[in-house]
Amino acid sequence: MNEYDSNRIYDTVKKIGYNKTENYEEANCYLLNTCHIRDKAKEKVYHEIGRVKKIFRFKKKPLVIIAGCVAQAENDEMLRREPYIDLVIGPQSYHKINDTILNYIEKKEKIEQTEFDPFSKFDYLSKIKNESGKVSSFLTIQEGCDKFCHFCVVPYTRGPEYSRPFNQIVDEAKYLVENGTKEIILLGQNVNAYENEKFRLSDLILEIEKIPEVERVRYTTSHPKDMTEDLIDIYKYTKKLMPLIHLPVQSGSNKILKAMNRKHTIEDYLEIFDKLKEINPNIEFSSDFIIGYPGEDDKDFNDTLNLIKRIKFINSYSFIFSPRPGTVAADLELIDKKILTERLDKVQNLLFENQMIMNKSLENKYLNVLVENLTDDGTQVFGRSEYMTSVIFNGKKSDIGKIKKIKIEQSNRSTLFGEKTNNSNQKVA
């Protein structure tokens, strides 16, 4: 979502004459769009500002703006703690960035903009074209969260759930497509909680699928509680929705899920899994795991390992629990570090093994790959399989934006390597 937000901020500030530079030592404005999810997010921001200060020590000071969720969480404290920062803008206020900058230039008034106003943000942004124009583009449809998992800052930094108007999203999708987008990734902190008037996420997916130039649709991140029947049902007839579902489970233990306030059980999760597999056995799952949540004992941890073995997740993310200030879990007693590291290793080894097995099974098979770009050295092209796995093959620049049938020759854990094929009769895996 930060990538989407950064692009929209750029689309906005262009209107008052700012351009991106690769050579940021020459920048006259330095904007840091921050994320609060990872460990020590706040300290990393101050550290980064320290770096900028050094770079500009003998030069004219740039205008320094902190945007994103750290800005939201810290607000005016940032201006007090680090005088080098000029403006602080939260994720629901960045549509006001041009006025804020112009006001600063005129009056040198340092301010923080951190009120929650997603309605006026998206209303404003719908009038500013999304010009990211990548083969695969993000499109935010929903923001915020009402679930209040005990470990998570999102409800405090992004505010309550808000779903954008249906037509506004479809218009943005059409505009992205006019600029070359072939794959649309619908985004939201609780993307499948999308609800605007009578429309749900399933309606939105089916509407976007109707745009002829759209080849693929994905959505992320979902909550198990919002995997409603209408959403599960569209997998029966969708033509463009990809068969990889990112559905965070966090833990395999009901005791820990309850302690986390996740509002779903393992049985709920398995029911969703079984229903989707019955509709299409080729659907695969990826997930997020928090290892060592306070109170996790050996049995809880083994439940997580067993769940991974049962579902055979691919492309999952796993992290050791780390407390976030202001959350319910912030002051709970932490598990011993050595145990945490051992548990994380075990989980990651199992997840990596699943990935290796999956990728190995694709060798000598044919896959449809949506080509996104040239590789860094420009000699090959890079794209993604239906399961989001990177595929590198001997393509040309003219393949970018097209779906190519590729024979997979080799694999490692994260990447498949293949050859373009002219044999259109080969069945795709």
Interaction site with ligand SF4 (CB under 6 A): 145, 147-149, 152, 154-155, 189-190, 223
CB of 144 to ligand SF4, least distance (A): 8
In the bound state with ligand SF4, the residue whose beta carbon lies nearer, of 1 and 362, is 1
- Decide whether 154 or 257 has the Cβ nearer to ligand SF4: 154
Q: By C-beta, is 119 or 148 nearer to ligand SF4?
A: 148
CB of 50 to ligand SF4, least distance (A): 30
CB of 233 to ligand SF4, least distance (A): 23
**Residue number with CB closer to ligand SF4 (173 or 193):** 193
Cβ proximity to ligand SF4: between 150 and 240 the closer is: 150
For the bound state, the minimum distance from the C-beta of residue 404 to ligand SF4, rounded and expressed in Å, comes to 35
Contacts of 39 (CB under 8 A, 6+ apart): 322
* The dihedral formed by the CA atoms of 32, 55, 76 and 94, expressed in degrees to the nearest 10: -30
Cα separation, 101 vs 63, whole angstroms = 9
Distance CA 132, CA 371 (A): 17
> What does the alpha-carbon distance between residue 397 and residue 400 come to, in Å, rounded to a whole number?
6
**Residue in 413, 285, 415, 286 with CA at minimum distance from that of residue 352:** 413
Q: Which is nearer to ligand SF4, 182 or 223 (CB)?
A: 223
Tokens representing 315 are 């492309």
Q: Which amino acid is at 154?
A: V
Q: What is the smallest separation between the CB atom of 229 and ligand SF4, expressed in angstroms?
A: 20
Question: Which of residues 1 and 27 has its CB atom nearest to ligand SF4 in the complex?
Answer: 1
Residue 373: φ, ψ to 5°: -170, 175
> Which residues does residue 218 pair with via DSSP β-bridges, in sequence order?
185
How far lies 78's CA from each of 54, 71, 73, 139, in Å? 19, 8, 10, 30
- Nearest-approach distance from CB 116 to ligand SF4, in angstroms: 15
| Least distance to ligand SF4, CB of residue 161, Å | 9
Rounded-to-integer distance, Cα 209 and Cα 402, Å: 17
Beta strands in 94-182 (DSSP E): 111-113, 136-140, 142-143, 162-163
Strands 29-34 and 183-187: unpaired
